[in-house]
């Protein structure tokens, strides 16, 4: 069992303190508000939440939870600190870090008086980079110690929902944390090892980003469901029934396949169906701002790829893939066709390797080149041999992933500029001569 101090007796702090104490840890809650301190020490919760009063009363009576405003007491009698203070929006909409940095200042001053190693873990919601650029400098300056050597640092986001927070603590759905040092990583792992969820250990910035991505994704889902509901109602349909049925589909609708950052969507279904649903919304008076944004953002992803290619300065670009997805010769609304057309218009020579489109042309099928409405003389631009395509190209653009092509393309990295829209390997990130569109 660990000795833990929690700074911030707010919603997250109280729930975390009570649940950790319930699990057998010794917890000291810290706040500047004497009223909250008195409530905790009297065995009462300063927040309203299902089951929290009983839990606080139980763990305080058992001697596993107490509250104070004394930083030296809390740091001196614990080896792990959670920072759980609020981060309200600043007037310009940016994250407000003043409470976090103020607490870090006090923690650092207490660490300066402590010889033993101590881990400081931020749980407040802060934008990526904040731990490194705001919290650590304050901790180092006030403690006189170096992060990762004199004290540990981590970021451990919470995913509690109000009204179900106690249940969520034991069944979080997602466990992720970032850490600078092994000691902090081991402590956080031990705190979660008995929970029935995978533990994702990563770097601090990634953990910070996961928290914001999770919250924003929830907001997007609510907005999307509302837009569908409005359109459905205007069409005489029950939108909640529609969404209930949709959410039963775990193969496609809820699939991680569509949650993988990369290039734009295309094909014979998605673009036209989003446009048609947007048009229906306009006709029936429903809201469609999110649908507008989907199409605008998709187009911007094509423009992003275009800029990456143009920035390489190449006069000839070899496309690996031109169909809207690998495994088909279908070019209908392929974002790669749209990208190629933009480059050709800018005077860039485009050559294409695509085994499935090539097969259709070689077989002389009536549907060869079906859906191509943007690339002139596509058949003449096709190159059947990948090595030849690479040799003839100033820049290689990987638009579709073909497993058999991967080894050849990997060898080409470093020999000429390569723009990757699909990510050939997970360990590849943007570097000299290699540009990943989202990595």
Catalytic residues: 269
Give the Cα separation of 120 and 139 in Å (integer).
Answer: 9
Give the DSSP letter of residue 63: T
> Whose CA is closest to 67, among 93, 31, 117, 95?
31
* Number of alpha helices (DSSP H) and beta strands (DSSP E) in the chain: 18, 13
Please list the helix, strand and coil fractions of the chain in percent, rounded to the nearest 5, in that order.
Answer: 45, 15, 40
Give the Cα separation of 176 and 180 in Å (integer).
Answer: 14
Give the Cα separation of 145 and 137 in Å (integer).
Answer: 10
C-beta separation of 373 from 335 below 8 A: no
Residue 278: phi and psi, rounded to 5, are -60, -40
- Hey, which residues does 120 pair with through a beta bridge? 81, 153
Query: Residue 376: helix, strand or coil by DSSP?
Result: coil
Give the Cα separation of 148 and 179 in Å (integer).
Answer: 9
Query: Residue 420: helix, strand or coil by DSSP?
Result: strand
Q: Give the alpha-carbon dihedral of 158, 161, 165, 167, to 10 degrees.
A: -100
Exposed / middle / buried, residue 305 (Cβ in 10 Å: 0-12, 13-18, 19+): buried
> Whose CA is closest to 135, among 150, 145, 147, 149?
147
**Gap between the terminal Cα atoms of the chain:** 39
């Amino acid at each position: 069992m660990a000795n833990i101090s929690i700074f911030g007796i707010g919603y997250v702090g109280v729930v975390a303190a009570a649940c950790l104490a319930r699990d057998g840890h010794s917890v000291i809650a810290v706040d500047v508000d004497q009223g909250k301190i008195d409530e905790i020490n009297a065995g009462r919760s300063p927040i309203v939440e299902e089951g929290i009063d009983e839990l606080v009363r139980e763990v305080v009576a058992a001697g596993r939870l107490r509250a104070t405003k004394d930083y030296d007491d809390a740091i001196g009698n614990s080896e792990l600190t959670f920072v759980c203070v609020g981060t309200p929006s600043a007037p310009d909409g940016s994250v407000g870090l003043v409470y976090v940095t103020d607490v870090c200042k006090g923690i650092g001053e207490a660490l300066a008086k402590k010889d033993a190693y101590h881990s400081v873990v931020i749980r407040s919601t802060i934008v990526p980079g904040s731990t490194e650029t705001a919290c650590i400098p304050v901790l180092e300056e006030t403690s006189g110690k170096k992060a990762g050597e004199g004290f540990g640092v981590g970021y451990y986001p919470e995913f509690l929902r109000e009204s179900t927070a106690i249940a969520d603590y034991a069944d979080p759905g997602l466990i992720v944390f970032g850490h600078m040092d092994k000691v902090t990583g081991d402590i956080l792992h031990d705190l979660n090892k008995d929970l029935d969820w995978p533990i994702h250990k990563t770097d601090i910035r990634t953990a910070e980003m996961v928290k914001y991505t999770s919250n924003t994704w929830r907001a997007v889902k609510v907005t999307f469901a509302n837009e569908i509901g409005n359109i459905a109602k205007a069409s005489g349909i029950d939108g909640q029934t529609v969404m209930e049925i949709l959410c039963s589909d775990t193969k496609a609708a809820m699939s991680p396949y569509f949650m993988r950052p990369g290039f734009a969507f295309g094909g014979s279904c998605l673009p036209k169906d989003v446009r048609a649903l947007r048009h229906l919304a306009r006709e029936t008076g429903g809201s469609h701002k999110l649908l507008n944004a989907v199409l605008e953002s998709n187009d911007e992803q094509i423009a992003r790829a275009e800029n990456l290619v143009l920035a390489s300065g190449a006069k000839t670009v070899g496309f690996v893939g031109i169909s809207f997805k690998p495994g088909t010769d279908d070019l209908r609304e392929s974002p790669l066709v749209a990208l190629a057309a933009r480059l050709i218009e800018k005077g860039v020579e485009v050559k294409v390797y695509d085994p499935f489109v090539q097969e259709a042309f070689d077989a002389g099928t009536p549907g060869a080149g079906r859906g191509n409405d943007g690339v002139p003389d596509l058949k003449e631009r096709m190159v059947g041999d990948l090595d030849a395509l690479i040799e003839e190209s100033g820049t290689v653009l990987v638009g579709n992933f073909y497993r058999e092509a991967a080894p050849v393309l990997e060898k080409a990295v470093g020999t000429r500029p390569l723009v990757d829209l699909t990510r050939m390997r997970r360990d590849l990130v943007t570097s000299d001569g290699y540009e990943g569109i989202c990595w």
